[in-house]
Amino acid sequence: MRWLEKQRNIIDFTLSSLLRRKTKNIALMLVYTLVVFVLASVMFFAGAIKKEASIILRDSPEIIVQRMVAGRQELAPVGYMEVIKKIRGVQSVRGRLWGYYFEPVAGANFTLMVPEGGAEKGQIEVGKGILRSIRASEGDMLSLKSYNGDWVLLKIKGALSSESELVSSDLILISEEDFRRVFGISKEYFTDLTLHVHNSMELNTIAQKIQDLYPDTRPIVRDEILRTYDSIFNWRSGILLVIMSAAGLAFIIFAWDKASGLSAEEKKEIGILKAIGWETSDVIVMKFWEGTVISLSSFLAGIILAYFHVFFTSSTLFEPVLKGWSVLYPHFRLTPFIDEAQVMTLFFLTVLPYTVATIVPSWRAASVDPDSVMR
């Protein structure tokens, strides 16, 4: 009970102490919050984008077969499907139709795709990013210029709702017939083929068999897709690392400045406290609370701001760098996702060193003889 009262009294004094140096402490908290904000934003962004990637890959086919002609992707003939289907271990083969369409008015690339279950002729479902960029809404008409210059008029049936806006932002789901009209692809061809297999252990064997059957194909197994995504995200992680290092460095300088000394006034106060009966440990407890109040509140403020920044404002501040080169800036919203371990790591990398940095110089000042204030 006494211990609790003592802590309460010391915290009480700490708070009024902090209020005395309002400007200095507010400035301190602002810098601290900013550093945590940048670090946490980067962390949340990286975590969420990896999560998005795992959502995308969850439903991706085990093997994608592309036809390559002299290193360039070509359309895959329907005949290939029948032969591949007969390979032992292949569960199903499906032809996919997809392609990029440049929309000059919006100045953006759209991804047109025929959904697995098919779509109604003359109607399309579009991603929210497209709706925003062409300022259209449900029920409006969208005209696409086909390969021979004809216009294909399509009615927007609705906006795509997806777990991951990263996938759906620039996507148009279109019927097979309309797709073939726009791109001029005959019924004998698909963009590429997708495979599901019975046993994932056989993926590489099946890929090899396809390659042997059709030397002009390139079978891509899911692991490779994963690697591609990984390298894209890792490249971005590299940029994130630079930002993180800069913020980390700022924090070290900031904590070092704090650790390298107390003002003459603070030293005198510690002397007074010791002279009137405070122990060295009491002074350290006070400084501990001071450090904790500043660092914990800044940490929480930084984390909350970063959460809003990443998940509600779509990382406005570093969006152009992080989200790629696409002409159509995908104004997607990341699915809120927080990795507790990362937050804890950030906590231990900021709150802990800061608190220690507050205590160490005070400990040095507090271990002087209390009669120093009399001299």
Partner 1 sequence: MIELSDIRKVFNSGRSNAFTAVDGVTLSIDSRKITVLKGPSGSGKTTLLGIIGCMARPTSGRIQLTGQLTRAVTFSVEGAAAEVTSLPERFLTEIRRRAFGFIFQQFNLIKGITVLENVMLPAYPMGEGFKPLRERAAKILSDFNLSGKLFAKVEWLSGGEAQRVGIARALINDPTVIIADEPTAHLDTKLSGEFMGIVERLKGEGKTVIIASHDPIVFDSSVIDRIVEMRDGRISGGH
Query: Which residues form the interface with partner 1 (CB under 8 A)?
Result: 1-6, 8-10, 12-13, 16-17, 19-21, 269, 272-282, 369-371, 373-375
Judged by beta carbon, residue 6 or residue 196, the one nearer partner 1 is 6
CB of 374 to partner 1, least distance (A): 5
Comparison of 72 and 375: residue with beta carbon closer to partner 1: 375
Q: What are phi and psi of 123, to 5 degrees?
A: -125, 150
Q: Which is nearer to partner 1, 268 or 333 (CB)?
A: 268
Q: Minimum distance from CB of 263 to partner 1 (Å)?
A: 13
Min CB(367)–partner 1 separation in Å: 9
Continuous segment of H or E residues that includes residue 204: helix 203-213
Position 184, amino acid:
G
Q: Determine the Cα–Cα distance for residues 360 and 375; give it in Å rounded to an integer.
A: 24
Gap between the Cα atoms of 354 and 306, Å rounded: 20
Sequence-distant (≥ 6) Cβ neighbours of residue 295 within 8 angstroms: 32, 350, 351, 354, 355
* Shorter beta-carbon distance to partner 1: residue 48 or 286: 286
Q: Nearer to partner 1 by C-beta: 43 or 286? A: 286
Question: Minimum distance from CB of 363 to partner 1 (Å)?
Answer: 13
Nearest partner of 309 among 41, 8, 30, judged by Cα: 41
**Other Cβ atoms closer than 10 A to 68:** 14
CA distance from start to end of the chain = 37
Query: Smallest gap, in angstroms, from Cβ of residue 359 to partner 1?
Result: 17
CB of 301 to partner 1, least distance (A): 25
- Tokens 């809404």 correspond to 137
Smallest separation, CB 264 to partner 1 (Å): 13
Q: Closest separation between CB of residue 349 and partner 1, Å?
A: 32
Amino acid making up residue 137:
S
CA distance 8 to 303: 27
Q: Where are the alpha helices (DSSP H) in 128-200?
A: 128-134, 165-168, 176-183
> Of 96, 154, 148, nearest to 123 (Cα)?
154
Residue placing its CB nearer to partner 1 in the complex, 300 or 373? 373
Decide whether 2 or 72 has the Cβ nearer to partner 1.
2
How many alpha carbons fall within 13 Å on the CB side of residue 349?
18
Nearer to partner 1, 214 or 289 (CB): 289
- The identity of residue 66, as a single letter, is Q
